[in-house]
Amino acid sequence: MTAFQISRRDFSFAFGGSLAVAASAFSQRHSIDLSTPEAPGTIRINFNENPYGPSPMALAALSTCGHIASRYPDRSAATLTASIAKLHGVQPENIALGCGSTEILHVVDLTFVGPGKNVVVAEPTFEAVLEYAQALHANPVKVPHTADYRHDLPRMAAQCTSKTGVVYVCNPNNPTGTVVSRREIAEFLPQIPPTTLVLVDEAYHHFVEDPAYQTSVDLIPQYPNLVVARTFSKIYGLAGMRLGYAVGSKEIIAQISPELLIANGNAAVLAAAAASLADQASVAATRAKLNATRAWLCEEMKKDGRAYIPSQANFVMIDMGVDVKPIVAKFKEQKILVGRPFPAMPTFLRVTIGTQPEMKSFVAALRQIVPASASRAA
C-alpha cells in the first residue's frame, strides 16, 4: 500500500460515505425530480447525451446477448479490455474498466486522496472528482479559468504540492466545451510532482475539431503518474448502460484496480461496447451530425447577437445575460430540459446538442423566453 492509499479498514467507511455524498450531490447537480413523471414529447438536451443512441452494430449485439445474461461477464470483460488496449496501442494491463468513467474518477480519489490531501481542479469543471474527494475529507483547490474559459494550467501546476493527491484536467472541459492544446499539456506535466496523480478526463474527445488538441494517452509512457479516462456514454450512445475505462501505466492501474467493483461491467454493455468499437463508421457519422448541428446552433446565436463559448464538445454554453435559474424553469414549462446552473457562471446556459429538429425547437423557445434584444441589453 502506498502513502496515498487508504487502508482496507477505512475503505468500507469511505466507500459508503462517498456513495451517499455523491448520490446526494448527483441529485442536486442534475435537479432530478423523481416524483414528477417526464411529460411525453419532452426534449432532453440537459445531460450531454447522444440523441442518436447506440450504433446499429451495438443494437444488434444487444438483441443477441440473451444467451450470456445468465453467465458472469469475466470473459467478455477480458475481450473488451484487449480491444480497448489495441485501440490505444497499449497492453491490457494498462486498461481498467469502470461502471461509467465516473467509477474511474471515484477510485482515483479513493486511491490517491484522503484527509490532509487536496485535489486541484479548474473552476468550473465536472464536479464528480471533488464530490468524491469531499467524502474522503480531502481539500478542494479551485483555479479560475483563463479569460477565454479554458483551464489555466500554469496556475493549476503552481497549486500542486506534496499534499496534492490528484490534479484533474477535463479536456474538453464540461461545462465550457473548451480544450487545452497538446503543447499546453506537454508543458504542464513536467511541473507536476511525480507523487501527484494527473487525471485527464477525455469523455468528449471524439467531438473535437481543433487541430491543436490531441489525446494524452501517448504521453503515459513518459509520465507514469498520468491516467486518461474515457467513456462509452457520449459518442457511443451508451450513457444509460454505464461503461468507461482508464488508460494508465501498469503500476497505476494495479493500484486503482482493487478499489473497483468486481464485475463492474454487465454482459449487455460489454457486448454493446465491443460492437461500438468495431463500428467506427457509425462513430464518424454521429460526430458529423452532432458537430454540424453544433455549428448551426452557434450561427443562430450569432444572428441573434448572443454571446456563447465556442465549443469542442457536444454542448454549448450560451450567455443569457441574467441568472439562468428561472430561464431553465421556463424551458421546462415548454417541455425542453436544458442544463443546470453553474455557480461560477450564473448567467450561462449549457445546452446539449440534440437532433436538428430538437435544436430548432430550442432556438424557437429561446427567442420567445429570452428575446435576442434582451440578451444583448443585459
Q: What is the pLDDT of residues 226-238, one digit of tens each?
A: 999 999 999 999 9
Looking at the chain, the whole-number percentage of residues with pLDDT higher than 70 is 89
Q: What is the pLDDT of residues 242-261, one digit of tens each?
A: 999 999 999 999 999 999 99
Q: What is the pLDDT of residues 131-171, one digit of tens each?
A: 999 999 999 999 999 999 999 999 999 999 999 999 999 99
In SS3 terms, the chain reads as CCCCCCCHHHHHHHHHHHHHHHHHHHHHHHCCCCCCCCCCCCEEECCCCCCCCCCHHHHHHHHCHHHHCCCCCHHHHHHHHHHHHHHHCCCHHHEEEECCHHHHHHHHHHHHCCCCCEEEEEECCCCHHHHHHHHCCCEEEEEECCCCCCCCHHHHHHCCCCCEEEEEEECCCCCCCCCCCHHHHHHHHHHCCCCCEEEEECCCHHHCCCCCCCCCHHHCCCCCCEEEEEECCCCCCCHHHCCEEEEECHHHHHHHHHHCCCCCCCHHHHHHHHHHHHCHHHHHHHHHHHHHHHHHHHHHHHHHCCCEECCCCCEEEEECCCCCHHHHHHHHHCCEEECCCECCECCEEEEECCCHHHHHHHHHHHHHHCCHHHHHHC
pLDDT the model gives residue 27: 46
* Interacting residues of 337 by C-beta distance below 8 A, sequence separation 6+: 42, 43, 44, 45, 46, 331
Predicted confidence band of residue 15 (pLDDT cuts 50, 70, 90) = very low
User: Per-residue pLDDT averaged across 296-313, rounded?
Assistant: 98
* CATH code of the domain occupying 28-50+281-377: 3.90.1150.10
28 has pLDDT over 80: no
pLDDT the model gives residue 12: 44
pLDDT the model gives residue 29: 52
Residues of the chain with CATH 3.90.1150.10: 28-50+281-377
Residues of the chain with CATH 3.40.640.10: 56-278
pLDDT the model gives residue 31: 52
Least confident range of 36-45, 175-184, 199-208, 342-351: 36-45
pLDDT the model gives residue 377: 55
pLDDT the model gives residue 7: 43
CATH topology of domain 56-278: Aspartate Aminotransferase; domain 2 (3.40.640)
Q: What is the pLDDT of residues 83-139, one digit of tens each?
A: 999 999 999 999 999 999 999 999 999 999 999 999 999 999 999 999 999 999 999
pTM of the predicted protein model: 0.91
User: Per-residue pLDDT averaged across 194-198, rounded?
Assistant: 97
pLDDT the model gives residue 308: 98
